[in-house]
A = this chain, B = another copy of it.
Amino acid sequence: MEFPSKLIENGVSAFASLPGIGKKTALRLVIHLLQEDEELSKNISESIFKLRTEIKYCQKCGNISDDEICSICNNPSRKHDIICVVENFRDILAIENTGQYRGVYHILGGLISPLDGIGPEKLNISSLIQRIQSQNIQEIIMALNPTIEGDTTLFYLSKQLSQYPVTLTTLARGVAFGGELEYVDEVTLARSIQSRRPFENYISGQNS
């Protein structure tokens, strides 16, 4: 598609460089911006610029933050003796949205994946060990993806952390809420039978 204006062309390629946005959608967005107030374009432009240039990473947990220490690590009402280890920032968002967790986090920045050339030395494990050594940490929740890479990282972490006096836990694995048993995959169903729980725990578990 040829454009009569270099500015339009640049705008379309800018939007089209984002994932999931093709040339046609990009053109629609460009036309929308042209039709709306100049303020809107200025706001969007500024937000995108600041987003990447002013963002910081929390010195404690590695979370994305506006300051040196993120709002979660800085919150005195949270339990600072429980650390939830996650792969990335999106996992923190997902867990925060449940409203069920009041501890702090630690971002690994990836999962061990030999095929992608990611070994344990590329993950933020040493800073996690430093936190365990320097603070009085009671529990480490390893909230990693239920995948091969997640499990590999889980086993590596558990070995590394076994020498410290800290409780290691993982997310419960089992059938997902709202699913139908006949469509659950074999591995998940098999594990959920092996890890079956007494019914009293099921009820009390709702409130824990």
Binding site for B on A (CB under 8 A): 1-8, 10-11, 13-15, 17-21, 25, 27-34, 38, 40-55, 63-66, 70-72, 89-90, 92-93, 96-97
CA distance A65 to B6 in the complex (A): 8
A10 touches which of B7, B31, B47 (Cβ 8 Å): B47
Contact A31 B63 (CB under 8 A): no
Residues of B within 8 Å of A42, CB to CB, are: 49, 52-53
Residues of B within 8 Å of A96, CB to CB, are: 2, 4
Residues of B within 8 Å of A48, CB to CB, are: 11, 14, 33, 41, 44-45, 48
CA distance A38 to B30 in the complex (A): 22
Residues of B within 8 Å of A43, CB to CB, are: 14, 17
Minimum Cβ distance to chain B for residue A1 (Å): 6
Residues of B within 8 Å of A34, CB to CB, are: 51-52, 55, 64, 89
Contact A7 B55 (CB under 8 A): yes
Contact A17 B40 (CB under 8 A): yes
Residues of B within 8 Å of A14, CB to CB, are: 43-44, 47-48
Contact B20 A28 (CB under 8 A): yes
Q: Report 23 cross-chain contacts, Cβ distance below 8 Å, ordered by A residue.
A: A1-B93, A3-B93, A4-B70, A4-B72, A4-B96, A5-B71, A7-B47, A8-B51, A10-B50, A11-B51, A14-B47, A15-B44, A17-B43, A17-B44, A18-B44, A19-B29, A31-B90, A34-B51, A34-B55, A41-B48, A41-B49, A41-B52, A42-B49
